[in-house]
Chains A and B, each alone.
Chain A
């Protein structure tokens, strides 16, 4: 098992690291020490500074203050290449793979072709990449396949493998298991490296994983080091308290019960689109319906078709009892009681960065053709006020350019916009993803209020605990179908996880 060698040398020592972006302080006097052969977790909410820390270690940005010592020598990388030469390699959270290039090329970037003047032969490149993959136990991906053809899980493994192959001193893994079905392969490779004395910085919000592979953890909050702890000696509540700064709110607050007797607002029958095959679904007023699923089970396709973003291949969708053809999100908003969709990627699919928060929210009105003749900031602020209040978005943020707001506030803006559309059906894909705890609570409160006043919500979350606490009932998707419909009272993370693994999983669990 993992043992911390007490007399191991300090591989990485970070002291007083600070980084500002204009007026925003991303990191403030961060101190971290990692020993050789140790797996050290970095814990913290979004906005705590983890990604900035990763960027500084990897040479993507330079710190304003502080110093880093790698194996005793100053570590001041000016680029990724630089950092790699010093022995620091990183697997980034947002994958850094080039889509229209082969796996082999991606693995070997930026030095793909080995010759001096004359380029290396393709076969030779593929062979070298194949060796690397075999070395790190990847046997199911062909080196000549294009990255864009691979599912997310395989892409993540390639991203990680590239970092593994360059790891000589410090390996930085930023949310490496986000798309992986399980941790066994990754942890095997990590243990191999730590056996050789490589230090690993492991960033993840999945505490159970962290406890399994890490020995120590440094908790960041608001850009500062709060504490470094030995994981064996702290419980989850304690960690939570350090991350957040206060004790967790009562996690047993539940939503309205699952016997929602409200009218059926949305129905899907035999729905087929993308990975979804013959799916049936009913959404009633007054209930929050959660969707649990492993990566790539068709949940994205389902949500996007219900939101009107994509067209269904076959099957029927009825909104407010009337069969409907949701040709576009705009149309979906205007059909019957109305469907408002909030996508997963707020940055790329959601917000208008250069417009104010108020403009973003009122865009719902504009989309519906309303909005009147004359528009200015004041008018928008006034109109956005009610919706903003429902998501607890502080009024002073309404004048900010949305691009300048934190992720949590951006998410609130998007939800306020959905509310403003007047739709009675909310389709939310991971609404609380990457959002700080305070905002999560506001979002949950909004969701509960929404269904109490007669709306219905269908939401997907990758956080099982969220599903357990919020859902009136929870659907489980597997292989494009709904394989379970679990009522609220019996929901637990274990049952959800088991069901999410499909019929096999459920059998194993019973």
Chain B
């Protein structure tokens, strides 16, 4: 995957230009009109937690309830997936991504892939 993404995308917390990129999971962006379609863009990331948190979550699994460590992990992953998708869209010259969908899959114990995809468009 190296080379596909901007190096800066790999630095956590790096500010992207998310504010000029509009996201929607409808086929259009309400209140704006689409002037060009630029095709599918997607971003994904695979993450796992560090062992300590994994063990703590294991204990939490005896008493049940929310596993906060995992919730946070997947939320961060989703942000990163969105960021990568947005970067692809920006590279294509888009200023919005419509019809955004998410998918999470479990690929190994404690590691999950989070993916975001959508259609890059130009709106005015």
**Do A and B originate from a single complex?**
no
B residues neighboring A (CB under 8 Å): none
A residues neighboring B (CB under 8 Å): none
